[in-house]
Chains A and B, each alone.
Chain A
Amino acid sequence: MRLQSLRGVGIALALVFSIVGVKEIVPAYAQEQSIKLGVILTLSGPPGRAGNRQKDGAQLAVDAINAAGGIKGRRLQLVIQDDAGDPNAAVTAFNTLAAQDDIVAIYGSTIGSSTMAFAPLAKRAGIPVAVPNATYQITRLGNEFLFRVAVPGDVEVKAAVDLAKKKGWKRIAMLHSNDAYGKQGADLLAEMKDLEVVASESFATNSTDYTPQLTKIRAARPDVIFIWGGVPFTGTAVKNAGQLGITAPLISPTAAGAPANVAAAAGSSALANWQIMGVIDPANPLPRQKAGIEATQAKFKNDPDVFIASGWDAIQVLAAGLKNAAAITRPALKTALEGVKGLEGMGGVYTYSATQRDGTGADSLIWLKVVDNKLVRNDP
């Protein structure tokens, strides 16, 4: 008995030493030169559809930058963690990454509530975070370590309302997902003055049929319906609208512009009325978008969506900061990021300052429509 347990202890010790040993040795000769960026994204669960694209976009940008010689002669390297859409897991992931001193910045997370969860810790750890969320409060909390690389949600709501006003659509209905992103859209719309919001309905992100909500909305006779949410439920809602014979125009924010929604709404008669905010028109790319679109097509045989653009741009923003940073450290990078001006990304042109934390705004938005199962530009 005693001999056996001794042997067990011996094996356990050997295991521990071997793991520690490997960890000590590998970076020493293989990765001494690389600059490490932490990534916290939702790679599993329903938002994983978005998170995996963000990861792809980030990796594409890292590959492109490394192929061009890296930054100050050093390669970029991503250290990736999955938060599974759970803010608690995001905090754990954050702590794991922040404990590694050589990680100088973090990109993440896919869902706003995860980012909100680790934001105070980022301030304490003094680590700059490239935030991909539209959740508008994130950059209004006085946390100077957060740099948004996305169009904020209040800008999206305003864009939708402006379009409705321009078109003379007075009676507005809102159908939103029951998560932070959807609720924010509904709250912001409710706060806006001089609007006639005739119905506001929500749906759980795990429900699969929105016919009851849309029937209720139809009864309110709206001129326009805002369908506010991500993937794939926005597409399902559009399909349901078509099934109910709703002919009112439908407007969705950037998070809706993804292939999963296009697939879910395939063949619907409501597609003709659906306007989606976007950042890329793959058929007519802007000069600043060409590199990212080509990299995406070469690797994935597909056009980039808003999530690939998010990953790509976050790395480009961080890289721009690293290039100007006095040293490759967290505080130097934070200061350098505040000096990033007019950085041309796939999803927008980004400018930050000591007070400006939303890198981009309404001028990055374009309108998209689904034609032949593809998102194409359609300025209404």
Chain B
Amino acid sequence: MSAADVLQFVLSGITMGSVYAIIALSFTIIFNATGVVNFAQGDFAMLAGLMAVSFIGFDLPILVAVIVAIAATGVVGGAIYALTVAPIPRAGHFTSIAVTLGLSIVLQKGAQFIWGTESHMLAPVSSRETLHFAGATITPQAIFILVTSALMMVLLYAYFKHTRAGQAVLACSENREAAGLVGIDVRWVRAEAYVLGCVLGALAGILVMPITTMSNTSGLVLTIKGFSAAVLGGFGSAAGAVIGGLVLGLLESLSAGLISSSYQNLIALLVVVLILMFRSGGLLGTRTLH
């Protein structure tokens, strides 16, 4: 095992890790604003990817098709929020989990109805197969994923830190009643955050699709990985979601590369469990768990 091989594990770990990080972030945003653990999160990624394929089929340029698909996923997310999540504002975590798991099944089967069970492919950003980097290789798509997710995190940070809308979301997650008292339209902010979470999930789907392909059932794995990452980092913490995603991606690729590929998922998730045994709040500590 050479140093270049280890670097290869790290690169592929960070790439998948940043996708997990985006999904973990979308879990976090939705949870903080609405108190809902949204187990349909990966299915929004699936939905966006498959819609993009259809829009490309309508002869739209790829970039336009992708943007329309992400926006459409946001619209679907908004409609779903109004129909299923909004009516259960005070329901406990169990109810919200049951509702969103049901939602996930509906989305999966709905997608099967429209797109079948085939895997669909999205062309990567560059037709160039690989770039060489210190003896290891990295695909242009992986670089695109890394750059886009970094940019997305900076934008989200700016949104929450420096815009009124972002601050309103934070206020709602801190204290819903107080936020309402100071004149924030809590119901609107919650809807906004849910749609933002869906859009982030959609973005993750579009980014990862050229690497993994997408079928109607692909969402579930993304949900599980994103949720594990969010818990690992500390559920409810945005920085924790990012770190959790990257750590999970690295754990997966390093355990497959250095220990045993047969037990890749087992080892990665075992480490997650171990970390949680000693730090029950996750790496950065759970910020809000009402």
Contact = CB atoms under 8 A, between A and B. Distances in A.
**A and B interact physically:** yes
Contact of B8 (A45, A215, A269): A215
A226 to B, nearest CB: 15
Contacts of A207: 221, 252, 264-265
Nearest to A217: B261
Interface in A248-296: 260, 263-264, 266-269
Given A212-B256, A216-B5, A264 B137 contact: no
Given A44-B112, A215-B9, A208 B129 contact: no
Contacts of A378: none
Q: What range describes how many residues of A lie at the interface?
A: 35 or more
Contacts of B15: 209
Contacts of B175: none
Interface stretch (A139-147, A159-167, A198-206): A198-206
B166 to A, nearest CB: 32
A324 interface: no
Contacts of A211: 8-9, 12, 253
A334 to B, nearest CB: 33
A208 B208 contact: yes
Interface in A205-258: 206-209, 211-213, 215-216, 218-219, 231-232, 235-236, 242-245
B34 interface: no
A46 B212 CA distance: 13
Given A46-B217, A260-B119, A209 B211 contact: yes
A49 B253 contact: no
A216 B119 contact: no
A268 B5 CA distance: 21
B14 to A, nearest CB: 11
A77 interface: no
B112 A212 contact: no
B185 interface: no
A270 to B, nearest CB: 9
Interface string B243-282: 0000000001110110001101100000000000000000
B96 interface: no
A212 B261 contact: yes
B128 to A, nearest CB: 10
B112 A264 contact: no
Contacts of A45: 117, 217
Interface in A155-189: 178
B2 A263 contact: no
B139 interface: yes
Chain B interface residue bracket vs A:
35 or more
A208 B221 CA distance: 9
A54 interface: no
B119 A49 contact: yes
Q: Which of B112, B213, B253 has the most CB of A within 10 A?
A: B213
A48 interface: yes
B175 to A, nearest CB: 40
Given A206-B221, A209-B12, A243 B121 contact: no
A203 B252 CA distance: 11
A260 B137 CA distance: 25
Interface in B188-234: 208, 211-213, 215, 217, 221
Nearest to A219: B5
Contacts of A201: 256, 261-262
B177 interface: no
B117 A52 contact: yes
A268 B129 contact: yes
Contact of B130 (A232, A245, A263, A266): A245
Report which residue of B215, B221, B257, B261 has the largest number of chain A beta carbons within 10 angstroms of its beta carbon: B261
8 contacts: A201-B256, A207-B252, A211-B253, A216-B1, A219-B1, A242-B130, A244-B8, A244-B137
Interface of A: 43-46, 48-49, 52, 178, 201-204, 206-209, 211-213, 215-216, 218-219, 231-232, 235-236, 242-245, 260, 263-264, 266-269
In the A-B complex, list the 10 residue pairs whose CB atoms are closest, starting with the nearest.
A208-B212, A212-B257, A48-B117, A212-B256, A211-B12, A232-B119, A201-B261, A215-B8, A212-B253, A213-B261
